[in-house]
């Protein structure tokens, strides 16, 4: 048995709870993101990381010291960070001559890198460069992807999935309609990806649905795709697999047709129609003689005399 | 005259309504795809590429217009969802979101059920079921109900007994109290060891599946990794001759057999062993009956019985009695299968029930 084979046994209740929180669960928790500053990151990249951190805030960790690592060459330190902070999304920022203003966005499955996509920042407008009101922390953004590239190209498709995973935040059963005030808009044109974030202003339109006006809020980025590291098909399929327990249990004897009509099969006992209560009328009322005959009809009143 | 006026009023009202709706309607060539659970919309219409190539401010304006239209569509969809006022009449309007539909990978693989412990496996095989025991039992001496275990247990704590019986045939000088204490300590230690063994086995079992394509997930066995790396290294056209080496790897590419060399017995030396080996070989070749590996045969038999029981269970509901009961019901069938082959090893007296045979193996 080597060191990795050993079973980690918590010594205190608190440690046990901590480990339980990290165990695989049927219903998973919201994915956390770690934003890692590379060994040589310039101002732009650092600002990008800070801004994304502000957008992601309660579900993100910012590693702002120098981390000398290259995710495309060696993923072990990323995996270590992932295990340490229990994060499965990462954004790594670096800058060098060959790949200036470099961002690597990726996700993990079971603490191992699943997908990574390298993006170059061509233009960046920070949150604080635009002087207007911002959204409160932890607002769930509306995500919009525009452009046929996101459906045609496999790498773009994976990037779309990655971005949705990264920015969607917690899954919620309901949402306050007036609280929809943040939009992240991704447009793919000409090999570039324009990421824009807007604040939503709901205007009166005269009918129930409001008219939307947008106001640029930042951060906004112009990105180009560089290297990619996509998971193999079978690994990706494995990661997509949902456990059986999550599926709702099928109810017996209920079926639906194509139009959504519900059909049910009901098993009933045969109704005794002779005892059916119909309309009460004076003419239908039983006479006293009939009534007494019915009471003792089955067993004649011989026993009384006996 | 009046009729005309009514028509005009209606037309005007309709126009007004259309005017109102115009501010919130957006025309798109292709419909957007929505995943309202994630507040997500996907617009597959190609954006105006030529216009977006232009100067900065113009591009920004275009992008913002595109975003506005898409957001308007998404918000209209969200407003259509069933909504209610949270917390009474004055509360905010809250829309019920559907389940997210866009397929996203999980963070961790789904939790696996704990593999059964050694005892649970054995109990399943034997059809032993858990019996419920009451926590209180009647204490004859104290004349009251007491706990079965622990502090103030019924019958008193055996480790605190003031009298210990000297078993027949035991050394009269031996301290019986010390023996009892020692035995208890040993039992506790063995239980703890078994518990840890079960834990370790459960830990290992998660990755025990020999993965043909090895995924970088789960806990990986060191030997398994080594094996896969070796196979990968020699799986080239040149059988790994030109593969780059890791710092501590040997220069010679490993052979398919895992670097194990064939070993031959020395030509001279242990004559007795050689003689017995050859004789055994000759005997096996000469005998009409096939050689029987008892352990394998017994395992096979057990597996077969288990499979039969499982098949029988699948059709009907789980019967009340365990497997042991069922096996006792039809001993003839199970013994018939293996009886013919097992005859040479078996004494005639052992032809009875299944339990006795197993012990022998």
Which DSSP string corresponds to chain A? --GGGSPP--SSHHHHHHHHHHS--SSPPPPPEEEEEESS--HHHHHHHHHHHHHHGGGEEEEEEEE---TTT--HHHHHHHHHHT--EEEEEE--SSS-SEEEEEEEETTEEEEEEEEEEEEEE-TTTS-S--PPTTPPPEEEEESTHHHH-HHHHHHHHHHHHHH-----SEEEGGG--EEEEEEEETTEEEEEEEEEEEE--SSSSPEEEEEE-S-EEEEEEEEEEPPPHHHHHHHHPPPGGGSPPPPTTEEE-TT--EEE----PPP-GGG------TTTSPPHHHHHHHHTSSS-THHHH-
Given a contact cutoff of 8 angstroms between Cβ atoms, the answer to whether A165 and A239 are in contact is no
- Facing residue for A148 by CB, picked from B44, B72, B105: B44
Residue of A nearest to B22 (CA): A205
Contacting residues of A for B57, CB less than 8 Å apart: none
- Among A2, A168, A172, pick the best mutation site for testing chain B contact (most B Cβ within 10 A): A168
Q: Closest to B43 (Cβ–Cβ): which among A4, A108, A144?
A: A144
Q: Tell me if chain A has a CB within 8 Å of the CB of B215.
A: yes
The answer to whether residue B62 neighbours chain A at the CB level (below 8 Å) is no
Say whether residue A130 is in contact with chain B using an 8 A CB cutoff.
Answer: no
Between CA B184 and CA B191 the distance in angstroms is 11
CB-based contacts of B211, cutoff 8 Å, min separation 6: B224
User: Smallest CA–CA separation between A36 and chain B, in Å?
Assistant: 19
The answer to whether A187 contacts B47, with C-beta atoms less than 8 Å apart, is: yes
The backbone region for A65, taken as left when phi is positive above 0, alpha when psi lies in -120 to 50, beta otherwise, is: beta
HEC per residue, A100-140: CCEEEEEEEECCEEEEEEEEEEEEEECCCCCCCCCCCCCCC
| Cα–Cα distance, A119 to B344 (Å, whole number) | 74
SS3 B118: helix
The answer to whether residue B49 neighbours chain A at the CB level (below 8 Å) is yes
Tell me whether residues A174 and B97 touch, CB distance under 8 A.
Answer: yes
Distance from the Cα of A231 to chain B's closest Cα (Å) equals: 10
| Alpha-carbon gap: B127 to the closest alpha carbon of chain A (Å) | 28
Mean pLDDT for the stretch of residues A265-269: 84
DSSP B236-286: STTTTTTSPPPTTS-SSPPPTT-SPPP----SSS-HHHHHHHHHHHHHHHH
Q: What is the pLDDT of residue B214?
A: 62
Q: What is the pLDDT of residue B213?
A: 56
Is the CB of residue B297 less than 8 Å from the CB of residue B305?
no
Q: What percent of chain B has pLDDT over 70?
A: 79
Q: Which of B20, B39, B69, B87 best probes binding to A when mutated, by most A CB atoms within 10 angstroms?
A: B39
Of residues B20, B96, B217, nearest to A109 (C-beta):
B217
| Interface test with chain A among B86, B106, B208, by most A beta carbons within 10 Å | B106
State whether B93 and A165 contact (CB < 8 Å).
Answer: no
Chain A, residues 77-106, CB within 8 A of chain B, namely: 88
**Chain A residues with beta carbon closer than 8 angstroms to that of B215:** 234-235, 238
Write the Ramachandran bin of B220: left for phi over 0, alpha for psi from -120 to 50, otherwise beta.
beta
A214 to B74: CB separation less than 8 angstroms, yes or no: no
Would you say residue A4 has pLDDT above 50? Answer: no
Phi, psi of A120 (to 5 degrees): -100, 135
State whether residue B97 sits within 8 Å of chain A by CB. yes
A190 in reach of chain B (CB within 8 A): yes
CB pairs under 8 A between A and B: 222
Q: Which of A265, A235, A219 shows the shortest CA–CA distance to B105?
A: A235
Three-state DSSP class for B18?
helix
pLDDT in tens, B338-352: 444 444 444 444 334
CB-based contact, B136 to chain A, within 8 Å: no
Please report, in tens digits, the pLDDT of each residue of chain B (361 residues total). 566 788 898 898 888 877 777 777 888 888 999 999 999 999 999 988 877 777 788 889 999 999 999 999 999 999 999 988 888 777 888 999 999 999 999 999 888 888 899 999 999 999 999 899 999 999 998 899 999 998 889 988 888 888 888 999 888 888 999 999 999 999 999 999 999 888 888 877 655 454 455 666 666 667 777 777 878 888 888 888 888 887 877 776 666 666 667 788 787 878 898 899 999 999 988 888 777 788 888 888 888 888 888 888 876 554 445 545 444 444 444 444 444 444 444 444 433 443 434 444 3
Residues of B in contact with A172 (CB under 8 A): 97
Cross-chain CB nearest to A109 (options B97, B102, B105): B105
- The answer to whether B75 faces chain A, any CB pair under 8 Å, is yes
A153 touches chain B (CB under 8 A): no
The chain-wide mean pLDDT, for chain A, equals 87
Q: How far is CA B352 from CA B296, B346, B357, B359, in A?
A: 21, 11, 8, 13
Question: What single string gives the DSSP state of each residue in A211-229?
Answer: EEEEEE-S-EEEEEEEEEE
CA A290, CA A305: separation in Å to the nearest integer?
Answer: 21
Give pLDDT tens digits for A148-186. 999 999 999 999 999 999 999 999 999 999 889 999 999
- Cα–Cα nearest to A216, from A195, A232, A231, A237: A195
Say if the Cβ atoms of A146 and B43 lie within 8 Å: yes
The partner residue sitting opposite A189, judged by closest CB among B47, B86, B108, is B47
Q: What is the pLDDT of residue B257?
A: 63
The rounded distance, in Å, linking the Cα atoms of A85 and B275 is: 65
pLDDT score of A2 more than 60: no
Query: Closest by alpha carbon to A59, among A84, A82, A34, A37?
Result: A34
How many residues would you count in chain B?
A: 361
Fill in the DSSP letter of residue B290: P
Q: Which of B20, B95, B203 sits opposite A7 (nearest CB)?
A: B203
**Chain B residues lying within 8 Å of A238, measured CB to CB:** 109, 215, 217
Counting beta carbons within 10 angstroms of the beta carbon of residue A114, is it exposed (0 to 12), middle (13 to 18) or buried (19 or more)?
buried
């Amino acid at each position: 048995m080597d060191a990795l084979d050993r079973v980690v046994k918590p010594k205190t209740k608190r440690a046990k709870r901590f480990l339980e929180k990290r165990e695989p669960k049927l219903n998973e928790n919201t994915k956390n993101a770690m934003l890692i500053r590379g060994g040589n990151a310039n101002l732009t990249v650092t600002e990008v990381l800070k801004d994304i951190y502000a957008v992601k805030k309660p579900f993100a960790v910012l590693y702002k010291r120098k981390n000398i690592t290259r995710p495309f060459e060696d993923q072990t330190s990323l995996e270590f960070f992932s295990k340490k902070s229990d994060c499965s999304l990462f954004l790594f920022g670096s800058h060098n001559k060959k790949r200036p203003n470099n961002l690597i966005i990726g996700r993990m499955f079971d603490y191992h890198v699943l997908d990574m996509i390298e993006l170059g920042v061509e233009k960046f407008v920070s949150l604080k460069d635009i002087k207007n009101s911002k959204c409160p922390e932890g607002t769930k953004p509306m995500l919009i992807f525009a452009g046929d590239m996101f459906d045609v190209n496999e790498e773009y498709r994976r990037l779309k999935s990655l971005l949705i995973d990264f920015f969607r935040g917690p899954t919620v059963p309901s949402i306050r309609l007036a609280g929809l005030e943040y939009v992240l808009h991704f447009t793919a044109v000409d090999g570039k990806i324009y990421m824009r974030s807007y604040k939503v202003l709901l205007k009166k339109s005269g009918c129930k649905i409001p008219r939307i006006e947008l106001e640029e809020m930042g951060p906004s980025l112009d990105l180009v795709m560089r290297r990619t590291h996509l998971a193999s098909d079978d690994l990706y399929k494995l990661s997509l697999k949902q456990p059986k327990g999550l599926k709702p249990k099928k109810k017996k004897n209920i079926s639906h047709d194509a139009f959504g009509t519900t059909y049910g099969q009901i098993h009933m006992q045969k109704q005794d129609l002779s005892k059916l209560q119909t309309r009460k009328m004076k003419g239908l009322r039983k006479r006293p003689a009939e009534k007494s005959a019915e009471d003792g009809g089955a067993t004649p009143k011989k026993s009384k005399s006996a | 005259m009046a009729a005309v006026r009514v028509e005009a009023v209606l037309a005007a009202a309709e126009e007004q309504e259309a005017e109102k709706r115009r501010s919130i309607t957006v025309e798109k060539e292709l419909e957007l795809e929505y995943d309202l659970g994630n507040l997500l919309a996907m617009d597959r219409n190609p954006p105006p590429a030529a216009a977006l190539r232009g100067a900065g401010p113009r591009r920004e304006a275009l992008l913002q217009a595109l975003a506005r239209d898409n957001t308007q569509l998404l918000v209209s969809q969200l407003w259509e969802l069933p909504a209610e006022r949270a917390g009474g009449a004055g509360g905010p309007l809250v829309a019920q979101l559907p389940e997210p539909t866009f397929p996203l990978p999980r963070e961790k693989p789904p939790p696996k059920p704990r593999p059964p412990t050694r005892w649970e496996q054995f109990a399943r095989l034997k059809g032993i079921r858990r019996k419920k025991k009451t926590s209180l039992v009647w204490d004859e001496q104290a004349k009251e109900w007491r706990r079965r275990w622990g502090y103030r247990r019924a019958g008193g704590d055996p480790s605190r007994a003031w009298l210990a019986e000297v078993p027949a045939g035991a050394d009269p000088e031996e301290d019986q109290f010390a023996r009892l204490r020692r035995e208890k300590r040993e039992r506790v230690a063995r239980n703890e060891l078994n518990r840890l063994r079960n834990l370790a086995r459960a830990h290992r079992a998660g990755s025990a599946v020999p993965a043909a394509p090895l995924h970088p997930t789960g806990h990986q066995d060191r030997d398994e990794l080594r094996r896969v790396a070796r196979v990968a290294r020699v799986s080239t056209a040149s059988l790994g001759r030109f593969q780059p080496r890791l710092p501590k790897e040997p220069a010679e590419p490993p052979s398919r057999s895992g670097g194990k060399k064939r070993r031959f017995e020395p030509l001279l030396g242990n004559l007795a062993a050689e003689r017995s080996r050859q004789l055994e070989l000759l005997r096996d070749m000469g005998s009409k009956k096939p050689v029987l590996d008892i352990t394998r045969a017994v395992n096979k038999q057990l597996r077969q019985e288990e499979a039969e029981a499982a098949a029988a269970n699948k059709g009907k509901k789980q019967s009340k009695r365990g497997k042991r009961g069922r096996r006792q019901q039809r001993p003839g069938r199970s013994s018939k299968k293996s009886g013919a082959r097992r005859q040479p090893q078996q004494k005639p007296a052992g032809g009875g029930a299944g339990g006795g045979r197993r012990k022998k193996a």
